[in-house]
Amino acid sequence: MYKKDLLIEIGTEELPPKSLTRLASSLADAIRQGLQDKELEHGECSWYATPRRLAVIVRDLADTQADKETVKRGPSVASAYDQAGKPTRAAEGFARSCGVKVAELDTLETDKGSWLSYSHLARGARTEELLPAIIERALAGLPISRRMRWGDGDIEFVRPVHWVLLLFGEDIIHATILGTETGRDTRGHRFHHPEAISMASAGEYLTRLQKEGRVTADFSERKKQIREAATEVAQARERAVLIDEDLLDEVTALVEWPVVIIGSFNDEYLELPKEALIATMQSHQKYFPVLHPDTGELTADFISVANIDSASPEVIKQGNERVISPRLSDAAFFWERDRSRPLESFAAKLDKVVFEQKLGTLADKAARIENLGRYIAGQLEFESAPIERAARLAKCDLLSDMVGEFPELQGIMGRYYALESDERPEVARALEEQYMPRHAGADLPETSTGMVLALADKLDTLTGIFAIGKGPTGDKDPYGLRRAGLGCLRIMIECALPLDLEACLAYSAGTFQESLNASAITTEVFDFMLDRLRRYYLDNGVSPAVFDAVQACRPAQPHDFNLRVLAVGEFLRLPEADSLVTANKRISNILKQAQYTSESIVNEALLQEKTERDLYKQMYASGVVEHGASGDYIARLTALAGLRDYVDAFFDEVMVMCDDVALRNNRLALLNELRQLFLATADISRLQ
């Protein structure tokens, strides 16, 4: 068996930049899985991607499958021959199925007797014979939302295919992939080296593409080049570059040979809101904004990335400056036009915009948010007036020209326009904070009005969309309900808001028209959010066992849930934890086996043994009840940990399931009370 490197490259028209890394990594994963399924040994499997190619290199791939010896067991020796020693029909039939004579069969000795058997060495298939099907299957399974056809054929792919390079070591694996004959030729940069480059082996692929073809095939290397060059160019002007990671990925996916160029625009545009300037540069032009390093304020500069090393970079710079000027002029027009009227005036058109066909208009949603926001404010004892005002204005900026052009500025422009309309600063800020957190790990609202508005908006969406049966399915979540659910939980937990989530969902359901019967899905939405909560804790390093221990008690307040999780984590660090976890499991099993469901209290007169009297006395003398009333779960579990010796002594010296029915039931009641003291925080019997 020999091992060689495998190189696969699919050359195409320009690939969609926002999907490039996913396509390339998925291709590598599928190739790796295909090799594993065929039991082909290999080393590292790496992906490469540019706008015109998807490539995979597999190191040290075996040239054949390993040979496999198979042993087929037949009838027992006793039933394989008759009394005269001649083969029976069973033996002859087994031999025929193996393609040999009875005399050529072996005997297999086992603990259960002797059996006829046949050993066969299956030769492994050659890798080059297996690869075409592996590659075709991998390409067919790529996450492509819409496939294209080209020419007269019926082949489909994300973009038309121009070449397929397929080398195993130094040899071409001849096949037809996506309607294209494989070979050893690739292409360099579309302008710098449009001619074919013939690859002798996989090992020279990256180097020759870089040096001869002027193509940096390694996506991460290209990304690093852009980041470093942009930073260096900005620093040369004593500036800093604002690099959005998603934009950096997109720009990296647009170029094969990145060249960074700095340009500028008329500084009069700096009077616009900085977010509008940034959106213009990033969304429309794919430019990186430039900042003052000390103040963080925008400058009248930008950085672009060209896909060509031009002999006249000044021409490219001037072209970029010429293109951005009308974009900024449009933004200035939108800004002046929008702020020429009060923000509240946009509300008149909210009833003309449908939020969701079955859930009504944006005006309906704003009214529900105001209603729910008033309820949440009451639960938290917050001032309701600013919350109600913010709710009335919450969706007004969606009808502004600026947000119509840049949807990502929703809420942000609402804040600006509210301040221009002399609204209270807290109300204006809440209009932006209603969309927080905008993504996983992003900032949370800081004002009480913003917290309530964000919760009301998200809970309304969750309840409404579930009520019309359009909750998330699989990896599809068009309404962003997973993000909304997690956002609500983060606000309640990290902002320490003592809100009953079930009660909020129930109230939200009551704000919808009766025909939707939204109240019927509140439990479903609550359980959905508990699933989000599980993910939240797993991402923060909390073990599933700790989460399950708290979830078993089903606290309705996420903030309270969090306090319990923290308390259980502290409890597990105590030396008494293991013993008490075991004792709780034992108590749970005893009560379950005894089918104990009584709510009767302990009769102290029936506590005969000293150890059971001591345990009962300590249960209510250790401050457990007082800590429970104060909500100090850490102190509560710490106090319960002090019962370990008494619990151990009880199980050592007391027979719970004794013959005396009265004594037995009293001891079960004692154990039940002890268990309930723990369950007031978590079911620690579920811990490991």
List CB contacts of 574: < 8 A, sequence separation 6 or more. Answer: 637, 638, 641
pLDDT value of position 34: 96
DSSP string for residues in 575-600: TTHHHHHHHHHHHHHHHHHTT----P
235 — pLDDT class (breaks 50, 70, 90): very high
Angstrom distance (rounded) from CA 487 to CA 455:
8
Q: Which residue has the higher pLDDT, 123 or 374?
A: 374
pLDDT value of position 92: 86
Angstrom distance (rounded) from CA 155 to CA 149:
6
Angstrom distance (rounded) from CA 334 to CA 395:
18
pLDDT at 627 over 80: no
Fold classification of 3-65+126-211 is Alpha-Beta Plaits (3.30.70)
Q: Which residue has the higher pLDDT, 120 or 416?
A: 416
Which 3-state string (H, E, C) describes 421-483?
CCCCHHHHHHHHHCCCCCCCCCCCCCCHHHHHHHHHHHHHHHHHHHHCCCCCECCECCCCHHH
User: What is the pTM (predicted TM-score) of this model?
Assistant: 0.83
User: Phi and psi for 530 in degrees, rounded to 5?
Assistant: -65, -35
pLDDT value of position 622: 65
Per-residue pLDDT tens digits for 512-550: 999 999 999 999 999 999 999 999 999 999 999 999 999
3-state helix, strand, coil in the chain (%, to 5): 55, 15, 30
Q: What is the mean pLDDT of residues 329-350?
A: 96
pLDDT value of position 626: 62
pLDDT value of position 474: 83
pLDDT value of position 639: 86
Q: Which helix (H) or strand (E) holds 240?
A: strand 240-241
| Average pLDDT of the chain, as a whole number | 93
Q: How many CB atoms lie within 10 A of CB 202?
A: 24
- 287-291, 603-607, 608-612 — most confident range: 287-291
Whether residue 437 is preceded by a cis peptide bond, meaning omega within 30 degrees of 0, is: yes
pLDDT value of position 628: 53
Q: Which residue has the higher pLDDT, 454 or 590?
A: 454
pLDDT value of position 624: 64
Residue ranges of the chain that CATH labels 1.10.730.10: 565-686
Per-residue pLDDT tens digits for 69-86: 778 888 888 888 888 888
Angstrom distance (rounded) from CA 20 to CA 22:
5
pLDDT at 688 over 80: no
Q: In terms of CATH architecture, what is 565-686? A: Orthogonal Bundle (1.10)
2 — pLDDT class (breaks 50, 70, 90): confident
pLDDT at 8 over 80: yes
Q: What is the mean pLDDT of residues 92-107?
A: 86
Q: What is the mean pLDDT of residues 221-233?
A: 97
pLDDT value of position 594: 85
pLDDT value of position 67: 84
Q: What percent of the chain has pLDDT over 90?
A: 73
The answer to whether the beta carbons of residues 102 and 77 sit under 8 Å apart is no
Beta bridge partners of 304: 261
Q: Which residue has the higher pLDDT, 661 or 598?
A: 661
DSSP string for residues in 379-433: HHT--SHHHHHHHHHTTGGGGSHHHHH-GGGTTHHHHHHHHHTT--HHHHHHHHH
Q: What is the mean pLDDT of residues 660-682?
A: 89
pLDDT at 339 over 60: yes
Q: Taking the mean position of all CA atoms in its chain, how far away is CA 3?
A: 37
pLDDT value of position 595: 86
Per-residue pLDDT tens digits for 465-508: 999 999 998 888 999 999 999 999 999 999 999 999 999 999 99
Per-residue pLDDT tens digits for 409-446: 999 999 999 999 999 999 999 999 999 999 888 999 99
Per-residue pLDDT tens digits for 137-167: 999 999 998 999 998 888 999 999 999 999 9
Q: How far apart are the first and last CA of the chain?
A: 47
pLDDT at 378 over 90: yes
Residue ranges of the chain that CATH labels 3.30.70: 3-65+126-211
pLDDT value of position 119: 82
β-strand pairing of 298-306 with 259-264: antiparallel
Residue ranges of the chain that CATH labels 1.10.3210: 344-540
pLDDT at 559 over 80: yes
Per-residue pLDDT tens digits for 381-411: 999 999 999 999 999 999 999 999 999 999 9
pLDDT value of position 66: 85
Fold classification of 344-540 is Hypothetical protein af1432 (1.10.3210)
pLDDT at 104 over 90: no
pLDDT value of position 623: 64
